[in-house]
Structures are given as structure tokens and as C-alpha cells.
Amino acid sequence: MKKVGILGGGQLGRMLLQEAANFPVDTWVMENDPNCPAAHLCQHFVLGDIRNYDDVYRFGKQVDALTIEIESVNIEALEQLEREGLNIIPRPAALRIIQDKIEQKAFYQQHQLPTASFVVVQNRAAVNDLVSFLPAAMKLGKGGYDGKGVQLLESAADIDKAFDAPSVLEKKVDIEKELAILVAVNQKGQTAIYPPVEMVFDPYLNLLDYQIAPADIQQKILWRVEAIALTLAKALQSPGLFAVELFLDRNGDVLVNETAPRVHNSGHHTIEAQVCSQYEMLWRILLDLPLGNTTGLHPSCLVNLIGEPGQSGPVAYEGLAEVLNMEAVYIHLYGKAETKPGRKMGHVTILGKDRVDLVYKANIVKRTLKVIAQS
């Protein structure tokens, strides 16, 4: 049985492992927390730091193929393992491009992929010379994820909030809709594309509020989104599953925001709403089996369960029974022992007949189900 290692043991690893049990695969996970969400669902859990060269290298030598569930891994170790013949999906070269927002933006430019105009800055002081470029989103080159590492600078008054490290300063987009689309690329270079989804963000936490699938967009916008996502995935020259986040602006232009080279929050709904979920799809790619069917079975809405403000400590879920009384509502709790404000603790997928039905139910779920600390 093929040994496949996953770097990272968070909720994406957890959901990958729930699906792995259907396939002929021996699963390995490395994470530095023995109580992480994925730890107890793999065949072999290895305690180690995914950012440490030696830990990643040693882990890679134990498996036949390697994937990631988070980008912040030691790439030098992956590059060495690849030179020694290990099958790494996504390829370290693709990961290197994506891991650094500066390289990621340069890559879009190089491949004529439309993206918001930007300037690369080395530190906070450099932003002072770019006041006329504001309002802009400042994105930390390395280390940002999950809404962290992004700062909106509306005007000169915000410059004290700017990052003091190499970053991308990206012209603020006049957003009509935020979209995301998943592209699967197998080891032969064949592709499969999922229907795009539409996201609504919480302006305070900069975290996904809820998500509707499929996105309500015109056919010509759909074609642009698909064409951009496919061009992007092919240009990365790597097998894997890629989540491309895009903006549709008020001029009707589609711009790439950013890409993740892995299963993604924007694809959680595919567990219930698609023939082949993003998790199953990645196993098919890793095991060199045929790509799955990305057809949607039902319209869906995804609500993230985020730790409530002011609540820290051992977790409790308020309103769980009420939500489980609703029709066609699926809970996915990530098994994290502690909640804190803004932490992703789970998600709920709702299947429904149309958008009105879904938004109505999503609001009930959001009002009812709260992630709090045990009193």
C-alpha cells in the first residue's frame, strides 16, 4: 500500500483523512501538536515541525509521496527530497511561487493573468512614498494566512498599521463579488474544474462569513473565471488541487486575488454538494487514479464556525441541537479543544433548493450556533 505523508495536521488534514479511509493508502501526518485535529485519524503520526528542514526531510524519507495541508512548510527540504526522487504534490517549485505573495504576484504578471495592480515594498517606510497609490491592501510577502498578513491601508493615516517587512501593496479593488474556484491537475497533466463559488466576508475579522455554491454570475464571467483558473493551474506546472480566489470588480473585470496549492476552505461544501469532493479528488491525484466528477448535485451554502469574540478556553457549541434539527444541514467540527476569538472551529454545510432558501437557512445557522468557551 502506498505511503502518503501530509505536512500539517489541521482541519484540512482531518477531512483528507476522513476520506482517505475509502482508498488503498497508508496515511502519515507530521505536526508539532499531538492533539491536532488530524493526529488520531492517520495510520502514522509523527511529531515534528513542518517548518524545520531536518524534520521535513526525515518525514519525507519514510513515505512514497508527500502533500501539504498548509503552505508554511520547509521548501528547502522538499526540494532536496524531490531531487532524491520523492513524488511531492504540489511540486516544491509551485509551492515556492505561492508561499511568497511577492513571487505569486510576479507569476500572475508573467503569465498575463489579470490581477490588481501592485507595488512591491520592502518595509513600512517605503509606504510613505506611495500615499498616492492608496487605498491599497498590504499583503505580507511570507507568513500570511487565514486573513492574517493582510492589512487594508485606506489613506496616509493608516500607514502606522503597515507591515514592516517585504510586502505587496495592492491597489484596492472595487469589488462586486469575491469568487473562488478549484482546479484539479493529475499526474498526467489532465485537469478537472469545479463550479465557482461566491463568498461573503466578515469585514471585521476578514474571515469568510458564508459562501454560496454555485456562484451567481453571468455565463461570460463564468468562462473568464474558468479560463483564468485553468491557465493559472497549468502555468504552475504541477499536479495537485489548486484553489484560486478571484475578484469580480464593478467594471465586470475578473482579477486573481490569490491561489492556494491544496484543499481549501472554499471547497468544504464539495463533501456534500459535489459528486467528487475536493478531498477525494486529492487522493485520486496522489494515488494516480482517474480524476473525479466535479458536477454539482445540490446548491449549497457554507457557514464557518468561528470562535466568538471574547470567548477563550475549552470549547462548547451552543445551539448544536437546534441546528441539527434543520433539514439537510451538515456539521463538521474540527476537534479543537480550545476556542479563541476568530479561530476556525468547524463549518456547516447547508443543501437547499435555491439561493433564497440557502441564505435564509445560513442566517438561522449563524444566529443559532455559537462557538463559546465552557462556562
- Grid cell 463533501 is found at 271
Task: Choose which of 23, 53, 57, 133 interacts with its own copies (CB under 8 A).
Answer: 23
Nearer to its own copies, 105 or 284 (CB): 284
Of 156, 147, 141, 236, residue with least CA distance to 191: 236
Task: Please report whether residue 98 would count as binding its own copies according to CB under 8 A.
Answer: no
Least separation in angstroms between residue 43's CB and its own copies is 5
Of 262, 40, 285, 71, residue with least CA distance to 27: 40
- Grid cell 464557518 is found at 304
Task: Please report whether residue 14 would count as binding its own copies according to CB under 8 A.
Answer: yes
Nearer to its own copies, 32 or 43 (CB): 43
- Residue 158 identity (one-letter amino acid): D
Task: Please report whether residue 175 would count as binding its own copies according to CB under 8 A.
Answer: no
> CA 78, 240, 210: angle at the middle one, nearest 5?
115
* Exposure letters 78-95 (e unless 16+ CB within 10 A, then b): bbbbbeeebbbbbbbebb
- Is the CA virtual torsion 84, 85, 86, 87 positive or negative? positive
Of 50, 98, 108, 46, residue with least CA distance to 76: 50
- Residue 108 identity (one-letter amino acid): Y
Task: Please report whether residue 22 would count as binding its own copies according to CB under 8 A.
Answer: yes
Q: Which stretch binds its own copies (CB under 8 A): 115-123, 125-133, 174-182, 286-294?
A: 286-294
- Is the CA virtual torsion 80, 265, 143, 31 positive or negative? negative
Least separation in angstroms between residue 238's CB and its own copies is 21
Nearer to its own copies, 238 or 294 (CB): 294
Nearer to its own copies, 23 or 133 (CB): 23
Task: Choose which of 42, 183, 217, 362 interacts with its own copies (CB under 8 A).
Answer: 42
Task: Choose which of 56, 217, 225, 351 interacts with its own copies (CB under 8 A).
Answer: 351
> CA 103, 7, 307: angle at the middle one, nearest 5?
85
- Is the CA virtual torsion 154, 156, 160, 166 positive or negative? positive
Least separation in angstroms between residue 18's CB and its own copies is 5
| Residues in 181-200 at the binding interface with its own copies, rule: CB under 8 A | none
Task: Please report whether residue 333 would count as binding its own copies according to CB under 8 A.
Answer: yes
| Residues in 260-279 at the binding interface with its own copies, rule: CB under 8 A | 275
| Residues in 289-328 at the binding interface with its own copies, rule: CB under 8 A | 289-290, 292-293, 297-298, 317, 320-321, 324-325, 327-328
Q: Which residues bind its own copies (CB under 8 A)?
A: 14-15, 17-19, 21-24, 27, 40-43, 275, 284, 289-290, 292-293, 297-298, 317, 320-321, 324-325, 327-328, 330-333, 335, 351
